[in-house]
Amino acid sequence: MTEIDQRELAQQFASDNYAGICPEAWQAMEEANRGHATAYGDDPWTERAADAFRNLFETECEVYFVFNGTAANSLALASLCQSYHGVICCDQAHVETDECGAPEFFSNGSKLLVAGSAEGKLTPQSIHELATKRQDIHYPKPRAVTITQATETGRVYSLAELGAISAACRRHGLSLHMDGARFANAVASLGCSPAELTWKNGVDVLCFGGTKNGMAAGEAVLFFDRRLAADFDYRCKQAGQLSSKMRFLSAPWVGMLESGAWLRNARHANACAQRFGAQIGGIPGVRLAQAVEANAVFVSAPEPILERVRGRGWRFYTFIGGAARFMFSWDSDTKRMDAFCRDLRECAAEAQ
């Protein structure tokens, strides 16, 4: 096997899915790899992972394992809607901007009803407006709301904000779905329990992200309103999301949840974002575009500065949230972060 150039492997902060697999997930995969197990989820690892979720969330929820977040969100929303229904989301929502129409596709046409937003957060007011905008037969009937926690712009809905959103949902007879690709980071940020951040506050379905939390792949779909899970297993199978060697999707969750790595990883990533944000804040010509509340830092800087930083080999995206985005993960290295901040400081000075 030819070696990969080590320079290609240096840490970047462009995305939290650039990171590898954390030891706890890796070890559980290794253990699951000893011997044979029944296929398609009828195995001890899958049962243990589902129980670990029920334990963590302190409730008898229905739990399913799929390969990625797009599938988790799309299939969960499809299970809340008929094809003529509408799903209220905010304009920054991953379901709207980054899923290639999958929510509409898997729901056979349920339309996303998109609310404008200042900071990438949906508000009770915008839910109310979209839910009451039209009552006639010609417009899709609003049926569900989806929010992202933590948001695509690195913000976190407080428990009070979540409570107000779920009250608006109840008032208008809407189900509430949470895209939790970074759910762990939100829990770490708020210091509340997973139950408080979901079913105790009116969330009906959660997509809990494993990939960005330190796994190779996989998201869990948790139905707190168990009636909404009817035939979800068939939906997953039809969508190509039923893993035949399911234990390799579920065992990493056992490693993550039973060891507490899910929360440790998120706490580390959030702490790195805080540290990074604090350093960036003091650089002339550069400012934080969003408050740092989870594992993301959004940086506004003139293009000549960003161009110089790219020239020094750093990668980052600017198409999300209107600024340069930096994401931190379970293994973010403070030395490497500090090296970036030094480079940014120098590039900012050069560009003056």
Ligand X SMILES: *Cc1c(COP(=O)(O)O)cnc(C)c1O
Helix (H, G, I), strand (E, B) or coil at 232: helix
Binding string, residues 148-167; x marks residues near ligand X by CB under 6 A? x---x---------------
End-to-end CA distance of the chain: 47
Nearer to ligand X, 192 or 216 (CB): 216
DSSP-derived secondary structure letter, 118: S
Question: Candidates 2-10, 69-77, 112-120, 168-176 — which segment interacts with ligand X by CB under 6 A?
Answer: 69-77
Nearer to ligand X, 152 or 204 (CB): 152
Task: Report, in Å, the least distance between residue 221 CB and ligand X.
Answer: 12
> Is residue 68 within the footprint of ligand X (CB under 6 A)?
yes
Question: Candidates 63-71, 164-172, 291-299, 330-338 — which segment interacts with ligand X by CB under 6 A?
Answer: 63-71
Contacts with 185 (C-beta within 8 Å, 6 or more apart), sequence order = 150, 156, 266, 269, 270, 294, 295
Q: Give one word for 260, left, alpha or beta, with left for phi > 0 and alpha for psi -120 to 50.
A: left
> Is residue 103 within the footprint of ligand X (CB under 6 A)?
no
Task: Report, in Å, the least distance between residue 339 CB and ligand X.
Answer: 25
* Alpha carbon distance 37, 51 (integer Å): 18
* Beta strands 287-288; 296-300: pairing state: antiparallel
Binding string, residues 276-315; x marks residues near ligand X by CB under 6 A? ----------------------------------------
Interacting residue with ligand X among 22, 45, 49, 70 (CB under 6 A)? 70
DSSP-derived secondary structure letter, 281: H
Residue 343 CA: distances (Å) to CA of 168, 265, 271, 336, 348: 46, 26, 21, 11, 8
> Is residue 110 within the footprint of ligand X (CB under 6 A)?
no
Please, are residues 263 and 188 in contact by the beta-carbon 8 Å criterion? yes
Nearer to ligand X, 140 or 154 (CB): 154
- Binding interface with ligand X (CB under 6 A): 68-70, 73, 94, 148, 152, 179, 181, 211-212
